[in-house]
Amino acid sequence: MSLLQMSIQGGALIFTAAVVRLGAKNRLPRRTFLALWWMAFARLLIPFSIPSPFSAYNAAYNLTGYGAAPQVQATPTLAAQAETAASAAAVHWATPVWTLVWAFGAVLLAAYFISGYVYFRSKFRFSLPVTDSFALEYVQGQRLRRRVRLRQSEMAGVPMTYGILRPVILLPKGMDWSDKGQIRCVLAHEMTHIRHFDTLWKLISTAALCLHWFNPLVWMLCVLFGRDLELFCDECTVRQLGGASRQAYAMALIQLEERKSGLQTFGSCFSRNSTEERIRSIMRLKKTSVAALLAAVLLVVGVTAAFATSAERTGMAAEDAEMVRRFQFHGWENMTVSAFRERAEVLLDEPEMHEWWLRIEGNSEYYELQDTDPLCEFLYHILNELTAERWKSREHGGASVKGFPQSFDPATFEYFFRMDILEPESLTVGEYHKAMHGMWDDMDKVLEKLSYAQCQDGHYMREYLAEEQKKVCGQWSSEALRIEILSVSYRPANAAGRTSNTDLDGYTEAEGQASYIETERFPGDMDAKPGQRSDDDLGSYTEQLPDEKETQISRGLPGEATGSSDRNDAVVVKDDGTGRRAEDAVRAWPPATKADYDSALQLKVSGYKDMTLEKFNASLLEWSNQNHERSERIACSLGYGEMYDEAGLTDEEREFISLTWFASGLENGEMVRSHYTGRLQDPLLTGTTCSVSFHEPGLRDAWAELWYQYSYHITDKSDVTVRERDQCIGGFARSVQKYWQDADAKELLHANKNDMVRLLQTLAEENSTEKVRIQVSADGVSYEKMDEPLID
């Protein structure tokens, strides 16, 4: 937590406790208010938060959000440009100026208290030991572990105590030693201060005041804390001396009425301020009832839980949240996209902000919170999109699902749409943001009002979906923003254990062109095999001979990088068996061109396989820095498997790009990331997805699917060649594929996840060396299967 956050939350607790004290100080035990002040000091001095579901700040957090985007369009003016420049300057100067002001005040106040303490100690340095036998015997009879010294001085106006580990009770030299009753009351009071470590609490209150000198509520805290400290000490002393001593104790207060000036920061004196209040409190002292004690406990617990704790963290860390809020410029929703980009880029150019951005953009935790946390939503749907290299055209996707009691699988409608910014000088950020969420909300409701019969009627759904797409896009498009549907996919509800026989099963549409495909159901309905449309039944599947298995293994990469938050792991199997990764949200780059691959293949020099990884990775890093866009397009195309369809590369060139170039790129990425995280992690890859189907016409359908992740560790890249690394991870991937192709279908259907984990770990060990270790964790393996008879 920042100092300002600590001060604000501490101030809220102080104010609440002060209001409670005003109304209940004579009804509750004195310790109640001391406990509240202790909690206030803890909140002011402890620099971390304690999340609680009972925190009052949860309500404030839940109220935070985005209002409706205004419809008023704004255009940049000279005044707006001036405001941008002023804000940029403020970013550089505001924080240091206020920090210097705070530090000056804190040091000045601390110097005042320290000089006062030094003067205080020097003033009483020549005090003399007390020789009165009654006083000495009384102090020795208290049996404290710390040795308490009794001293007297002409400079002391009233009795006082100072020192924590070696406490001293300092008495005025003019004390009437013959008045044993008064001496007894005074010593009992000071011994109570020592027993309660009140001098230490005075020191803590002084530290809080020095740190939060700018907060008037903290000054009030120190005053009220000093009073309640004395009142509680009076209460404990009277109970120790007995109720009959109440009058004598009050007379001692009157006789020793405060004559001391200055701040008593590091000590406690018998006579502080508010003597009249203390006398009234003493005379009203009575036994604490069970009800009052219970009320005090509930009050302290309730106020502490509400104001000393922080809102439960359901979003960003406080430091990251502060950085994101710096981009939420005043009136950002009304700013044009161009004006917002201009101001955001000024901030992103700062070294500190640039380092933060590199660290935050790959945070998977924040990405998962983008639908529930307003700041995460702003980060990914506003800031990230409008400052991206391809900011004028962004793609998004979603799905609408509706289940029915009579179906095993729900009806599913998936869609992708593109938002093209046509006029960034007139389109406001709020309008862009509202259109994005409007598309999601309306498309997600497409199936909401439909009945089971309608969802199963293919002809009706084709017309209905086409009409809904046109209507929704028309509603949210404008002259400044064009929205188009890129592709949709609809699957009707299926009965348990069977493939649906509706004429819409497998219906897809891409760029307005409808196609009809047969499907063989794999886990999650992710895999589809093209077939021919039947005049009677579009949902029928291709019959196969009994005991014949059909195996699909996505070709290409031995592994793909994980952690990219805008992709899922669905693999659509095309008619040539190629694996094509389907994106969940945004395709950031277009397909790589032949020129892109030719540029990358310049790294495939003679003898590159015998180069050390350290040397080859350095040359790849240099190439990537000079060819950033080419590198991004190739990486994106690898994820889609497009290089095999369109680039026309030889097998050797394909292996170089998909294995050598890809793996070294991952290693470079982890190396660069380690400069910001402080730790170097092993590359994590996702293996090729393997699927098998087993079919007996009219009798049973069965399938199995394996998905896995693995990592590899290289101790010293200067001692490992490209050939050694590629043989290990490439050999591992080929071993898994060979096992899957050669395995008997029944063997696969009888296997379980543990069997597959052991198999993968065995293959990883076989393909590892002392220099390159492949690791497979059970958490990174998924094995699903289904083997059920068809029931007519």
For the stretch 180-202, pLDDT in tens is 888 888 888 889 899 888 889 99
Q: Specify the 3-state DSSP secondary structure of 202.
A: helix
Weakest mean pLDDT among 402-416, 553-567, 720-734:
553-567
**Are residue 654 and residue 754 in the same domain, yes or no?**
yes
Percent of the chain residues past pLDDT 90, beyond the cut? 25
Encoded tokens for 722: 């490209």
Domain around 145: 87-299
Q: How far apart are CA 385 and CA 333, in angstroms?
A: 15
Question: Taking residues 416-431, what's their average pLDDT?
Answer: 94
Most confident of 527-531, 580-584, 692-696: 692-696
Neighbours of 327 (CB within 10 A): 20
Q: How does pLDDT run across 722-744, given as a tens digit for each residue?
A: 999 999 999 999 999 899 888 88
Local confidence band at 588 (pLDDT 50, 70, 90 cut-offs) = low
Which of 496, 521, 546 is the last residue before a domain boundary? 521
pLDDT value at 90 more than 90: no
**Are residue 638 and residue 779 in the same domain, yes or no?**
yes
**Are residue 514 and residue 645 in the same domain, yes or no?**
no
Q: How far apart are CA 776 and CA 754, in angstroms?
A: 12
Encoded tokens for 546: 């009994």
**Are residue 294 and residue 322 in the same domain, yes or no?**
no
**Are residue 254 and residue 333 in the same domain, yes or no?**
no
**Are residue 153 and residue 260 in the same domain, yes or no?**
yes
The answer to the question of residue 6 being in a domain is no
Q: How does pLDDT run across 196-245, given as a tens digit for each residue?
A: 888 899 999 999 999 999 999 999 999 999 888 888 888 888 888 876 77
**Are residue 570 and residue 676 in the same domain, yes or no?**
yes
pLDDT value at 433 more than 70: yes
- Distant-in-sequence, close-in-space partners of 144: CB < 8 Å, separation ≥ 6: 191, 194, 195
- Residue 25 or 459, more confident: 459
Q: Specify the 3-state DSSP secondary structure of 736.
A: helix
DSSP 387: T
Local confidence band at 285 (pLDDT 50, 70, 90 cut-offs) = low
Weakest mean pLDDT among 66-70, 275-279, 341-345, 652-656:
66-70
Local confidence band at 507 (pLDDT 50, 70, 90 cut-offs) = very low
The answer to the question of residue 7 being in a domain is no
The answer to the question of residue 71 being in a domain is no
Weakest mean pLDDT among 19-28, 320-329, 685-694, 777-786:
685-694
- Distant-in-sequence, close-in-space partners of 545: CB < 8 Å, separation ≥ 6: none
Encoded tokens for 103: 């530090």
Local confidence band at 646 (pLDDT 50, 70, 90 cut-offs) = low
Encoded tokens for 473: 């896009």
Q: Which amino acid is at 222?
A: C
The answer to the question of residue 261 being in a domain is yes
- Residue 64 or 528, more confident: 64
Question: Taking residues 64-74, what's their average pLDDT?
Answer: 34
Q: What is the pLDDT of residue 493?
A: 80
Q: What is the pLDDT of residue 162?
A: 85
Q: Which helix (H) or strand (E) holds 715?
A: none
Closest among 556, 523, 572 to 737, alpha carbons compared: 556
**Are residue 614 and residue 758 in the same domain, yes or no?**
yes
The answer to the question of residue 439 being in a domain is yes
Q: What is the pLDDT of residue 686?
A: 82
Split into its structural domains, the chain has a count of 3
**Are residue 752 and residue 628 in the same domain, yes or no?**
yes
The answer to the question of residue 678 being in a domain is yes
**Are residue 171 and residue 279 in the same domain, yes or no?**
yes
Q: What is the pLDDT of residue 695?
A: 63
Global pTM reads 0.43
The answer to the question of residue 53 being in a domain is no
Q: What is the pLDDT of residue 256?
A: 66
**Are residue 503 and residue 567 in the same domain, yes or no?**
no
**Are residue 511 and residue 400 in the same domain, yes or no?**
yes
pLDDT value at 421 more than 90: yes
The answer to the question of residue 246 being in a domain is yes
Task: Please provide the average confidence, as pLDDT, over all residues in the chain.
Answer: 76
pLDDT value at 331 more than 80: yes
Which of 470, 500, 521 is the last residue before a domain boundary? 521
Q: How does pLDDT run across 124-175, given as a tens digit for each residue?
A: 777 888 888 888 888 888 878 888 888 888 877 788 888 888 898 888 887 7
- Residue 306 or 271, more confident: 306
- With both helix axes pointing from N to C terminus, report the angle between 275-283 and 216-241 in degrees, rounded to the nearest 10: 40
Q: How far apart are CA 151 and CA 124, in angstroms?
A: 9
Most confident of 119-123, 545-549, 748-752: 748-752
